[in-house]
């Protein structure tokens, strides 16, 4: 277009949007260049009103990071806006060149939040914040396009500007409530600010989809992957996680609040060196299919994917869902969209197995989800007694196909823990499958021992043997006590062979905690987290160990990071919430079977009828495991007033010769209190605290211990727990735990 609009001479077109066209123009009166935005002549009245509303919003706020409005006018019946002509580029153009280093990305976000804060203070919500509406001028960030901005307090006229059934905004950058067509407030802009920060750091959008419907589904139901890199990046990721909470009440409640946390990240010593922030690739290895039944390789359908999962776990930019999660999607024709949403992954590995003539043929595919795009497909054939070469080949090919950046440590990890003996590896894989059932623990133990005898230098087999022996020792009968000492020996063999073996570090946590070394476990795991910020199992271990040490806030923070990395991860956080007096959250997060944390929480809340019903239901489904059955019998004795039956069950629990778990004794003490056995309860509490349970709040909060509070012995137990908790707090601080888990230093 050439010519003039009013006293503005058109120079050139510089942009076109849904409502109109933006030109560079020359103001003849003031002899300055400006940006002139016109509305399309055919625009309907509602579009015209949105255009005018943009003018009102822009005129209402004077701020360094909001593009100033010079004038609003009308030409041939159509309104136009005159704004400052900016030099530079949009954030969208900058992102085409890749990710932005953390210090720069935080600086840009702070400018955006400052502008939003000013806009919100005047009562406006932007509602269409996106990279193309953020301009990086030579004088700093400028927010553009307030066509969807509107006051938070709606009146009849304002509401009528929203078309029925039409979503206004950009799906990829909408808040969930906006995507649902619900009313929005300032917190919708907070969500979008978090999405922009994620995209700046990672170089990829927070939410993806090939259509508007898929994008809206992603915004409403999915979470972007965690960011990894330095500890500064982890800290920034926590800010993003909070800003992207699906429920507005769970987000930052103001732009200033989010900006405060980002400034804290910017002040960290290591942020200037955090030149790269990577979005993790989230992967699940599904159980492989047997093309025809074959007892000789049945165990490989689950064991080979599990071995691949373990080998890939711990790589810096890769988060691999557990085999337990993968087992949920073992159908012949898995629904890729369901897997993408429920497992919250970006890619899956599928495979099939065929055994013929002593040869094993494995066909493997790497598939992007939910699109179903095949990234890599390969067929591998090897002798059945050379299973490791198959696993190693698959792992290497998957890493290559995903283009996962490997550090020197990652490369060592992939080359480490190579079994020297094919027979040892086959025994190891068979034992892994058997160890999932308590009825097969003894057979699994024999298979693990066969593996380490054939290959004494294979660290994963020692670690898995340690777990199997620990479980047999803890839940076994008379004569099984020796298994606990053997478990310790097996774990130490694994650490001696490979001190960095993640599998061993993760499995050893429960052994340490049960034997009264929770604080040692906390410090050890924090050291691992410093090097492995993307490994959810390490955080899951900290959930457990921190609770025993009395560090309940740290336990919950570790849980939140673990869930950020792997929403399907299993943790013991329900016990943490119980000790913290958050009984509703304890019930929500209880994954145990039977759900005895839920039962205890219902009892603590006085909902005894519900607790009794749950106990009966759980007992009716139970097969085997006398230990867990006795817990339910003791609970039912309390809940139904059969105190003698309850005491008999509890006495049998206490008399178990190999059970060693301070937290178990803590729960049993609450049961004994309800059974009117105060002296027995006090003895159990003393036993729990002296064996390493230092949760003062866990002792002080639960109403189930109220009858004991007048006893001097109870106060003595609490005092000993407080001493242990103080020691743990100092050690946690010295290990940099507050920084590693994103907690404020008291």
Collapse the DSSP code of 20 into the 3-class scheme (helix H, G, I; strand E, B; otherwise coil) and give the result: strand
**Within the chain, how many helices (H) and strands (E) appear?**
33, 19
Buried b (16+ CB within 10 A) or exposed e, 286-314: bbbeeeeeeeebebbbbbbbbbbbbbbbb
| 128 is known as an active-site residue | yes
With both helix axes pointing from N to C terminus, report the angle between 662-674 and 626-639 in degrees, rounded to the nearest 10: 30
In whole angstroms, what is the distance from residue 622 CA to residue 632 CA?
Answer: 10
Phi and psi at residue 444, to the nearest 5° = -60, -45
Q: Which two tokens stand for residue 170?
A: 């950009």
In three state form, how does the secondary structure of 293-320 look?
CCCCCCCHHHHHHHHHHHHHCCCCCEEE
Residues whose CB is less than 8 angstroms from the CB of residue 587 and which lie 6 or more positions away in sequence, other chains included: 574, 597, 598, 601, 602
Query: Residue 301: which of 377, 348, 354 has the closest Cα?
Result: 354
Reply yes or no: is the peptide bond before residue 370 cis, omega within 30 of 0.
yes
Query: 34: closest CA among 50, 1, 12?
Result: 12
Contact 323, 249 (CB under 8 A): no
Return the CA Rg of the chain: 30
Task: Give the span between the Cα atoms of 120 and 128, in whole angstroms.
Answer: 14
702: Cβ–Cβ under 8 A, 6 or more apart, which residues? 578, 579, 581, 604, 670
Residue 504 to residue 551: CA distance in whole angstroms: 23
Determine the Cα–Cα distance for residues 638 and 558; give it in Å rounded to an integer.
34
- For residue 232 the two structure tokens come to 């500064």
**Helix %, strand %, coil % for the chain, to 5?**
55, 15, 30
Bond before 593 cis per omega within 30 degrees: no
Residue 47 near residue 19, CB atoms below 8 Å? yes
**Identified catalytic residue from 128, 189, 417, 566:** 128
Helices (H), 180-312: 186-202, 212-221, 231-243, 255-266, 300-312
Is the CB of residue 678 less than 8 Å from the CB of residue 707?
A: yes
Other CB atoms within 10 A of residue 646 CB:
24
User: CB–CB of 284/325 below 8 Å?
Assistant: yes
**Containing H/E element for 415?**
helix 408-415
DSSP characters for 489-507? HHHHHHHHH-TT-HHHHHH
CA–CA separation, 147 vs 259, rounded Å?
A: 25
CA atoms within 13 A on the CB side of 422: 8
Instruction: Judge contact between 672 and 680, C-beta under 8 A.
Output: yes
Return the active site residues: 128
């Amino acid at each position: 277009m050439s010519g003039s609009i009013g006293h503005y001479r058109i120079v050139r077109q510089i942009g076109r949007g849904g409502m109109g066209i933006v030109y560079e123009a020359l103001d003849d009166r003031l002899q300055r260049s400006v940006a002139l935005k016109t509305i399309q002549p055919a625009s309907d009245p509602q579009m015209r009103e949105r255009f005018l509303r943009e003018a009102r919003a822009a005129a209402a706020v004077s701020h360094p990071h909001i593009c100033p409005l010079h004038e609003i006018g009308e030409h041939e019946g159509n309104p136009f806006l005159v704004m400052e002509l900016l030099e530079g580029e949009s954030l969208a153009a900058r992102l085409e060149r890749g990710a932005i280093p953390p210090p720069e990305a935080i600086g840009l976000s702070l400018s955006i939040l400052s502008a939003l804060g000013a806009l919100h203070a005047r009562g406006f919500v932007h509602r269409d914040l996106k990279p193309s509406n953020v301009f990086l001028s030579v004088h700093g960030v400028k927010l553009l396009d307030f066509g969807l901005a509107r006051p938070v307090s709606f009146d009849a006229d304002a509401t009528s500007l929203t078309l029925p059934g039409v979503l206004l905004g950009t799906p990829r950058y909408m808040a969930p409530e906006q995507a649902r067509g619900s009313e929005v407030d300032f917190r919708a802009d907070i969500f979008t600010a978090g999405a922009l920060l994620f995209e700046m750091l990672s170089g990829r959008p927070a939410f993806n989809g090939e259509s508007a419907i898929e994008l809206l589904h992603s915004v409403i139901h999915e979470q972007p992957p965690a960011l990894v890199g330095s500890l500064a990046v982890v800290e920034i990721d926590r800010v993003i996680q909070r800003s992207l909470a699906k429920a507005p009440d769970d987000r930052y409640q103001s732009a200033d609040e989010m900006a405060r946390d980002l400034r804290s990240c910017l002040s960290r010593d290591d942020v200037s060196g955090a030149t790269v922030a990577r979005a993790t690739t989230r992967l699940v290895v599904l159980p492989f299919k047997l093309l025809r039944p074959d007892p000789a390789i049945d165990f490989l359908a689950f064991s080979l994917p599990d071995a691949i999962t373990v080998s890939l776990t711990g790589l810096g930019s890769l988060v691999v869902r557990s085999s337990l999660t993968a087992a949920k999607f073992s159908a012949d024709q898995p629904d890729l969209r369901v897997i993408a949403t429920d497992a919250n992954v970006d890619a899956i590995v599928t495979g099939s197995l065929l055994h013929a003539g002593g040869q094993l043929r494995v066909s493997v595919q790497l598939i992007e989800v939910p699109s179903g795009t095949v990234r890599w497909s390969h067929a591998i054939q090897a002798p059945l007694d050379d299973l490791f070469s198959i696993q190693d080949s698959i792992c290497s090919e998957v890493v290559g196909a995903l283009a996962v950046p490997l550090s020197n440590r990652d490369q060592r990890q992939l080359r480490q823990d190579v079994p020297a003996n094919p027979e040892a590896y086959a025994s190891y894989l068979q034992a892994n499958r058997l160890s999932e059932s308590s009825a097969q623990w003894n057979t699994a133990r024999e298979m693990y021992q066969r593996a380490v005898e054939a290959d004494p230098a294979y660290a994963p087999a020692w670690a898995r043997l340690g777990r199997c022996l620990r479980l047999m020792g803890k839940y076994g009968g008379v004569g099984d006590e020796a298994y606990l000492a053997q478990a310790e020996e097996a774990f130490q063999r694994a650490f001696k062979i490979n001190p960095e073996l993640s599998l061993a570090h993760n499995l050893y946590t429960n052994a340490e905690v049960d034997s009264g070394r929770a604080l040692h476990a906390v410090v050890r795991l924090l050291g691992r987290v410093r090097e492995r910020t993307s490994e959810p199992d390490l955080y899951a271990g900290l959930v457990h160990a921190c609770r025993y040490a009395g560090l309940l806030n740290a336990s919950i923070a570790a849980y939140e990071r673990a869930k950020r990395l792997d929403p399907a991860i299993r943790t013991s956080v329900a016990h943490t919430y119980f000790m913290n007096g958050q009984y509703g959250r304890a019930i929500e997060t209880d994954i145990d079977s039977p759900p005895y944390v839920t039962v205890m929480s219902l009892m603590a809340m006085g909902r005894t009828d519900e607790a009794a019903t749950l106990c009966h239901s759980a007992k009716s489904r139970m097969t085997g495991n006398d230990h867990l059955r006795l817990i339910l019998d003791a609970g039912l004795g309390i809940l139904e007033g059969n105190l003698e039956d309850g005491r008999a069950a509890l006495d049998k629990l206490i008399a178990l010769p190999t059970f060693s778990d301070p937290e178990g004794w803590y729960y049993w003490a609450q049961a004994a209190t309800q059974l009117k056995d105060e002296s027995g309860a006090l003895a159990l509490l003393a036993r729990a605290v002296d064996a390493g349970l230092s949760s003062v709040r866990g002792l002080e909060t639960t109403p189930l211990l109220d009858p004991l509070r007048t006893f001097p012995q109870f106060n003595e137990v609490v005092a000993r727990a407080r001493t242990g908790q103080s020691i743990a707090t100092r050690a946690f601080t010295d290990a940099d735990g507050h920084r590693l888990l994103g907690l404020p230093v008291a």
